[in-house]
Structure 1
């Protein structure tokens, strides 16, 4: 079945058409969100992975293992807000309290926690400002575009999307740093329940952010730009 998947297809396209591929790419550490423009073959080369191995795993993925996305701009916006922004609004402040606590208690014996805490606080500040900007300034324009009531120019919207994608890259870099400093979220032998909880939640946050950014970078933004070009 692997021959049915073209390794020269872009990662973003593969996940867009086959949501079940997202968990597979996560398992291999392949960046399908900010790096969605790269071909699968290129991504495998950069990660020193055998293309055939990844193709076999993709072929074995069952439909329904990933998250399907709506097929309208307004539906995509609602999906992003309800399934990702609302999660972030609740999770980030709650997770901050536990990250600070675990760092305070275990930071002397696990000094890497101080770096994780610093990265997380930077990430929290950036993401919270980012989602407000999207909901107040960008998403209303996107929805209006679908309703043919937008006065936005192509240049203005593309500039806004480029800015958001730059912020996505910054968030992805912080998440990658957290993963590296935690040794891929490895749980130390002396970790208490709160320590384990922090690592589990940070890993869940990373996965949600990847799916979130993919939906924007590889689905919402391209569809909005394509629609704008027809006006």
Structure 2
């Protein structure tokens, strides 16, 4: 299959579970060809192709992000995913500190996990504010200009340098959660784990999954389409 990992997931979001199983990144390094990704992970290409073939081809509209209009996609990112991230990053901070304080001596990795959560929490919140304040309004302005066939000023476009910063943030946050995943042995809980311990690991796992999905939507669908739209408007002006 001579396609990039991101393209495969864009065409069928259900394939994300296969790449998750083989620990192949489809959000940050999604432009890598499947064959290259398998080589890098020392994974048998035939095994992955078999699993990909077995995945359900039916993609429900609510998960078919590539078919959504850009303004609807932005509203989804802000009202659903950003809201989830804002609420849950604060919850992760609370439980990270609580569980580290109680079990830190017995499970030393909890100390590092708590530090990683604290390190990344503020940057995630600031990152979302930058998107909502700068990137998303500009893309909506492009959509309006295209709909009304009017000339719009693209001279101070945030789809270049600011986007690079956003994508760099994505990479750093993704790397942090991969480290947390390693420290938790893929969120494997001790048998004697209390409710707080279980909540922390469950929330971390859910957050990483949504984070990868969010980054995939922005890096591989929203931003490329926005740049293409901007370019079409520049050519018309």
Q: Structure 1 length normalisation: TM-score? A: 0.92
> Quick one: structure 1 residues 38 and 160, their matched pair in 2 at CA, closer, same or farther if it must change by over 3 Å?
same
Give ranges in structure 1 of 5+ residues lacking alignment.
Answer: 1-5
Within 1, Cα distance between the matches of 2:64 and 2:190? 35
Task: State the Cα distance separating 1:67 from its structure 2 match.
Answer: 2.4
Give ranges in structure 2 of 5+ residues lacking alignment.
Answer: none
Q: Secondary structure at the match of 1:185?
A: coil
Q: Secondary structure at the match of 1:108?
A: coil
Counterpart among 27, 45, 51 of residue 21 in structure 2: 27
Counterpart among 1, 10, 13 of residue 4 in structure 2: 10
RMSD, aligned CA: 1.6
User: Please, which moves more after superposition, 55-64 or 95-104?
Assistant: 55-64
In the TM superposition, 1:142-157 aligns within 5 A as: 142-148=139-145, 150-153=152-155, 156-157=158-159
Within 2, Cα distance between the matches of 1:155 and 1:82? 24
Q: Secondary structure at the match of 2:192?
A: coil
Within 1, Cα distance between the matches of 2:103 and 2:114? 12
Counterpart among 86, 94, 103 of residue 83 in structure 2: 86
Q: Which residue of 1 aligns with 2:217?
A: 215
Does the 8 A contact of 1:74 with 1:143 survive in 2?
yes
Task: State the Cα distance separating 1:155 from its structure 2 match.
Answer: 5.9
User: Please, which moves more after superposition, 135-144 or 184-193?
Assistant: 184-193
CA offsets 1:29-86 (integer angstroms, 9 cap, x no match): 1100001111111111111111111111111111348922152221111121122101
Counterpart among 116, 120, 125 of residue 123 in structure 1: 120
User: Please, which moves more after superposition, 63-72 or 110-119?
Assistant: 63-72
Q: Which residue of 2 aligns with 1:164?
A: 166
Within 2, Cα distance between the matches of 1:42 and 1:230? 32
Does the 8 A contact of 2:138 with 2:158 survive in 1?
no
Counterpart among 176, 184, 187 of residue 185 in structure 1: 187
Does the 8 A contact of 1:130 with 1:167 survive in 2?
yes
In the TM superposition, 1:104-119 aligns within 5 A as: 104-119=101-116
Q: Which residue of 2 aligns with 1:194?
A: 196
